[in-house]
Structure formats: C-alpha cells, structure tokens
Structure 1
Amino acid sequence: MWFHVLNLRSKAVAWLTAGIGSFAALAVAVMLGAFEAMPKQQDAQFTPNETVDAGQWRIKPLGARITSEKAFGVTPKEGQKAIVFEAEMTNLTARSTKDYYGVFHFPSAVDAQAEKPMIYLERDMALLPDLHPGMTEKLAYVWLVPANAAPTDALELLVTAKTYKPRDNLTGSPGWYNDHTAGIVRLPLSAQAAQQ
C-alpha cells in the first residue's frame, strides 16, 4: 500500500513538474514572439543645420557635395569621386581629442567601398587636428569612393556616439564607451556638385 502511495506521489510530482516546465516554456515563447512583433525603433533623422548632441560631440551638419576635382588636399583618381561633408563640431569632453574621426560612417554598401576619410580643420587647413574642449570648429571630411558608388541626390551618414561611464567595468577608469548609432544625417547634394 505504501508503495502505491509513493508511486502516486512521484507521478503527481512528475506531472506537476512537467506542467510547470511546459507552462514556463510557453510563456517564454509568447514573450519572445511579442518582442519580435514589436515595431523596430527607427534611428533619429537629422537635417542640415540641426544641432545634434552625440555623446562627446555637439554636431551641426552644414552641407555635402560630390566632386571629381581636388577637394582640400585630396585629389580623386580616374574613376573616383570625392565626397565632401562639412560640419561644425564642439568637443563636449574635458580633454583635447581626435575622436571625431569615427563619428560619421556611410551605410554599409558605400562604407565597404570608401577609403578612410581625410579630415581638415577649415580655418587653417590642418589635417586631423586635436579639437579642444568647448571650442566649436568647422571640419571638412573628404572620402574617395568609386564614381559608381557615389550618391547622386543626397548623402546619408550614420552618426556614431559613445556613452560616458564614470567607472568602466573592465578598466575601472572613467571614459567614453559603447559605440552606438545616434541617428542618420541626410544632406541634399547641389545639382552642380552632383554633375561634377
């Protein structure tokens, strides 16, 4: 008799455990399905002359053009075009830095074909200068791309930002970490620039 009671009890525990496990698996599946069905968050869209706070930087996109001629110190070779993007940049950190180098990227199709940008400080044509805290400077980014990869109507750039951490988990020191896309700048190209 005790054997039957123990056997029934163990069967009840097994059924109960299986039921709870199945319910938990079903609940997880429903939650994952709900997250999948949620609309994806769209990247913010920035326009020319709109001021954008992107972590370390306050950015004001000014304009863009495409040319086959020399732009600043960069001369396209045959079959290439230069994409010139101008922006005001303000360093919001406490140190002088060249970290603006990684702020702007093309969408992947163009990015894979573009050479690394040359970046000029427009007031004195210095190449890749340190930007000092609190000083707004006008920069020109110049990329060389194959002529067939150059945009014709508008230029889109992804804006990369970082997050400040007073103490990083790995290094234990303060700094700017966790690159993420803050939004997309879309700039029209002038008819004259697009025909060059």
Structure 2
Amino acid sequence: MREDTTYRSAAEKLWGKAGAYVHDSYDQHRHLFPNLPDQLPIVIGITAYGRCIGLTRTNEALDGPRITIASNLFSRGTRHVDDVMVHEMLHTSLILAGKPSDHDTEAWYAAIRELSPHVLGHRLDVKRGSDRKSVRLPNPNYVPGGDEPRTIVRKERVASNHEKVSRWPNSFRPDDYDGGPTILCPTY
C-alpha cells in the first residue's frame, strides 16, 4: 500500500460515497470502543449467508478483523448503516479483547448493557439466559409409595429478547425510526 493510501481512500475508490461513509461511521463511533485500531478494513458487498447485513471475520490469513457491510443496506439510510457499524464494531472489540463475540455470550450482553445509553439513548436491562425458566411439572414416573418424586423441574422456553439482542442496536429502534438519507452504493 502506498503511504497516502488508507482503507478509507481505497473503499471510496471502490464504493464511492458508501465506501467513505462506512469509514467515517467507524471514526465517529470509535470512541465507544477504545481498543479498536485507528483504521480497519471494511468491505461492502454480499455478505455470507445472503441475509446478513453485516459480518465481522478474523483469521490468520486476514491479519486481524475485517468488517463486511451488505451493499443493499445503504438504501435503508445512513442511520441504519451506523447501527450495523456499531454492531460489527462491538464484535471486533470483543475479538480484540480476547472475549467471545457471539451474540449468546455474557460478554455480548454486558457490552450491550454498557453501550445502550450511549447508542440508543437509554438503558437496556437484558440478561443472558432469560429465554428459559424453570417450571414444576407432574412426574409421569411417580407412583404413590415409590421412589420417584411427585413433581419434576424442567426448563421451558419463554418469550425472549435474545433475537432482538442478537440484532442490537437496530432491533431496539422504534418502528418509525428515521433511517436517514440513503446513499447509492455501486455493486460488482
């Protein structure tokens, strides 16, 4: 890479205003994640699995984390792009901190509780594992005078915020949330 070439300038050459915007969004939100580097490779295209709007990957071949943003996200508006960038930056921050970055981890839930006042403007009281509760049921093996207890305890799935937590922060926005101006994003 030439000295005057940055990830932002390369992205702008490839994806125009959309390429510049994802890097500007990264810069705008980096204060929330003090362990993130000054710049990071951010690519725009069709994400893995076809329905993801953002994806963070890292492996030895990549020499660190890389964020991918779906090209069709820009038609939803810049505030939606910002939300996806913050979401992927959280994955990146957890990876760089050596913590698990999956949505169903205590590290993810703790980070969301900490970041939500800054990102959403209000606290979120979300707890990992709240999608199951213990219920006491009649024991089908119970026989009066036998060794089996009259009731048994089982875990049952209950309504959960986990699906919303896995799509944070956008999933916690109101239905009438203004997505902001759209950006034309060239695709290849």
Asked if these proteins are the same fold (TM beyond 0.5), I'd say: no
Larger Rg: 1
TM-score range, shorter chain: under 0.3
Which one has a larger percent helix, Structure 1 or Structure 2? Answer: 2
